[in-house]
Structure 1
Amino acid sequence: MHHVGMTVTDLAAAVAFFEALGMELEGKAHMEGEFVDGVIGLDGSRSEIAMLRTPDDRYRVEFSEFQTPDAVDGSSHAPINALGLRHVAFVVDDLDDTLARIKPLGGEVVRNVETYQDMLKTCYVRGPEGMLIELCEYFS
């Protein structure tokens, strides 16, 4: 896998949230033109994108903020049992510290932080624009 792509209406907020999760900004770019339209299937598109990578450089998340055409609601606050891509999961070193860093950026635990058999502490978090993020801390 190279990356997961998400469309947002506030690129800066999405970047700040994922940087607080420990991801690193790889770069930003303006996207438009025939090549882009041909790939994504939208005529006259213009967008700003940001690519973030995990600290180990293995995985990436790409955010797109469209100027044209306008973004459409994709049920960003759908529950976990809705069809389609629902969440992205990250392993973190310290779940409590991570939650403290993302709370000021709008990160809210969906229900509980749970521990499974002294192996794993995990929770779902809603981030910017309703993104559903799973955070996992494994115990050694």
Structure 2
Amino acid sequence: MANNKLLRMDNVGIVVESLDEAIAFFTEIGLKLEGRATIEGEWAGRVTGLGNQHVEVAMMITPDGHSRLELSRFLSPATIEHHRAAPVNALGYLRVMFTVENVDEMVSRLISHGAQLVGEVVQYESSYRLCYIRAKDGLLIGLAEELNNSI
């Protein structure tokens, strides 16, 4: 039997209502737009199980080049119910966490894009300052600031 090992995680996929707004939001965090395309046809529907689909996709990459977000806007079939207003203890995928240099400054910038702080910015021991923020379309993300000094 062959030894099959995990090579890497390629990306996390997120379905959004507005691709342009999502690109602007994640660009503000510091991701870069790697590419944008329209995907359609029967082959794609065989992968997703949705049949014939038409989707606008944008691939965002982190500054270190190791992590990607695939943002998708479905033109057809139409999107269905969402769970974006669900609290953070809801079952399923919760959020994506980003490490930033300055949480307070990033929160201010994202609020200017219509985002809202979910709870408050808190400090975990002498290691991190953390918060959850909800984008204008309801998408939940986490922000973490590593603390290099002892408190």
Q: Secondary structure at the match of 1:35?
A: helix
Q: 1:135 aligns with which of 129, 136, 143?
A: 143
Unaligned runs of 5+ in 2: 1-8
TM-fit CA distance, 1:108: 1.1
Specify the alignment match of 2:101 in structure 1. Answer: 93
Q: How does 1:27-106 map to 2 (within 5 A)?
A: 27-106=35-114
Counterpart-to-counterpart distance in 2, 1:55 and 1:107 = 22
TM-score, with normalisation over the residues of structure 2? 0.89
TM-score, with normalisation over the residues of structure 1? 0.96
Q: Secondary structure at the match of 1:128?
A: coil
Higher helix share: 1
After the TM superposition, which segments of 4 or more aligned residues of structure 1 sit over 2 Å from their partners? none
Specify the alignment match of 1:119 in structure 2. Answer: 127
Paired residues in the alignment total 140
Root-mean-square deviation over aligned CA pairs = 0.9
Residue 8 in structure 1 maps to residue 9 in structure 2:
no
TM-fit CA distance, 1:128: 3.5
Equivalent pairs: percent with the same residue?
39
Which structure's relative contact order is higher, taking Cα pairs within 8 Å and 6+ residues apart?
Answer: 1
TM-fit CA distance, 1:44: 1.8
User: What amino acid does structure 1 have at the position aligned with 2:23?
Assistant: V
Counterpart-to-counterpart distance in 2, 1:5 and 1:48 = 12
Counterpart-to-counterpart distance in 2, 1:138 and 1:121 = 7
Task: Provide Cα deviations, 1:75-114, integer angstroms capped at 9, x if missing partner.
Answer: 2111111110011100001111211211111221101100
Unaligned runs of 5+ in 1: none
Instruction: Determine which structure has more spread, i.e. the larger CA radius of gyration.
Output: 2
